[in-house]
Amino acid sequence: MQKKDIGLAVLVLTVGAVVAFINPRFLSPINLANTANLVGLFGLFSVAEAFVIVTAGIELSIGSVIALLGVIFVDLIVVRDVPWPIAMVIVLVLGAIIGSIHGWLITKLKLQPFVVTLCGLLIYRGIARFYTADGTAGFSFGDDFPVLEWLVSGRSAGVPHSIVAFGVIAVISWFVLHRTVFGRHLFAVGKNAEAARYAGINTTRVIVLAYVICAVLTAISAIFFAMYTRSIHPASHGSFYELYGIAAAVLGGFSLRGGEGSVIGVVLGVILLQILQNLVNLLGIPSSLNFAVMGSVILIGVIADTQVSRYRTSRRQAKTLEKLVPDSQPAH
């Protein structure tokens, strides 16, 4: 665990303790399970976003992809009677295709990630609304998918399956990003693409794979959200989720310049954002202030981070001075 992550963990615990102190209901099993469920749901696409940010890219179409793939998934199993495991595979494949298109546009046509995925944001949302004729995609009374529902929105021993899925994916992502050769290549490409090329890394492949991984994780998240909300208004379903994901990644120490960050950080970032959400609800803060609270906390977190690292450097400096020149007293 990096020092940054420890700082964030302390922040999460502190905010959690404050909320619990003010309103003990925070720690009630129902509230904890609900919060955990939301952490799982939002965590999936936040980790997805991290894979792209680490390559110095950005993915802005996450919310729209969640809407589009969600609509398609519901349509497939409810209207077209496609067996749900097959529908799931179709949705994941669609995610992979979307990711490869983004990757291809960015690496082969050299378009900027921001532009490509901004267009994606508009296009997928538009298609989703067209697909349902701006109506709502949902389950009608009597539609029953007991296995699917148990799997995706069920609980085992009170633990929501969404957070189990998130946990599994977070652990795998941690290994991929921080322990594998591919992960090292992701960081290298994000930090200095030219030097990566000179070192024999196939930068195109690495970047395309990052967008594919991101989109497939987003597709998984789309299924979870579809089953969670059970009815999808394509005009608003998943709106701003990409910004939420970016916020979690940045809180977790990812730099938008690429080549920096840790999965533990994103996980903590997601948890922090959900606790804040909870805080707004439990403390009776007007929910219109929701975004304002979140924004302020992110800003404070990022400022604190830069200040702490500056302080740490100066302390290391002082220690060195002490060790090397025992009798010296800095003049200023």
Give yes or no for residue 3 binding other proteins (CB under 8 A).
no
Q: How far apart are CA 220 and CA 168, in angstroms?
A: 13
Main-chain phi, psi angles of 108, to 5 degrees: -85, -45
> Considering only residues 112, 180, 231, 309, which one is a binding residue for other proteins as defined by CB under 8 A?
180
- The site string for other proteins over 187-226 (x = CB under 8 A, - otherwise) reads xx--xx-xx-xxxxxx------------------------
Determine the size of the site formed for other proteins (CB under 8 A): 34
Give yes or no for residue 313 binding other proteins (CB under 8 A).
yes
Q: Which is nearer to other proteins, 150 or 175 (CB)?
A: 175
Main-chain phi, psi angles of 155, to 5 degrees: -135, 145
Q: How far apart are CA 13 and CA 213, in angstroms?
A: 31
Give yes or no for residue 307 binding other proteins (CB under 8 A).
no
Q: Which is nearer to other proteins, 65 or 196 (CB)?
A: 196
Pairing of strands 159-160, 231-232: unpaired
Long-range contacts of 12-20 (CB under 8 A, 24+ apart): 12/268, 12/271, 12/272, 12/275, 15/272, 15/275, 15/276, 15/279, 15/297, 16/275, 19/275, 19/278, 19/279, 19/282, 19/283
Report, in Å, the least distance between residue 279 CB and other proteins: 35
H or E stretch covering 40:
helix 29-53
> Considering only residues 3, 108, 310, 316, which one is a binding residue for other proteins as defined by CB under 8 A?
316
Q: Which is nearer to other proteins, 25 or 315 (CB)?
A: 315
> Considering only residues 109, 133, 157, 324, which one is a binding residue for other proteins as defined by CB under 8 A?
324
Report, in Å, the least distance between residue 219 CB and other proteins: 23
For residue 72, the Cα-to-chain-centroid distance in whole angstroms is 22
Report, in Å, the least distance between residue 316 CB and other proteins: 4
Give yes or no for residue 317 binding other proteins (CB under 8 A).
yes
Q: Which is nearer to other proteins, 180 or 287 (CB)?
A: 180
Give yes or no for residue 144 binding other proteins (CB under 8 A).
no
Report, in Å, the least distance between residue 191 CB and other proteins: 5
Q: Which is nearer to other proteins, 192 or 229 (CB)?
A: 192
Give yes or no for residue 296 binding other proteins (CB under 8 A).
no
Give yes or no for residue 142 binding other proteins (CB under 8 A).
no
DSSP string, 70-85: HHHHHIIIIIS---HH
Q: Which is nearer to other proteins, 136 or 313 (CB)?
A: 313
Give yes or no for residue 260 binding other proteins (CB under 8 A).
yes
Q: CB under 8 Å to 66, separation ≥6 — which residues?
A: 45, 218, 221, 222, 225, 237, 238, 241
Label residues 131-162 b or e (16+ Cβ within 10 Å = b): bbeeeebbbeeeeeeeebeebbbbeeeebbbb
Report, in Å, the least distance between residue 208 CB and other proteins: 16
Contacts to other proteins by CB under 8 A = 175, 179-182, 184-185, 187-188, 191-192, 194-195, 197-202, 259-260, 313, 316-321, 324-325, 328, 330-332
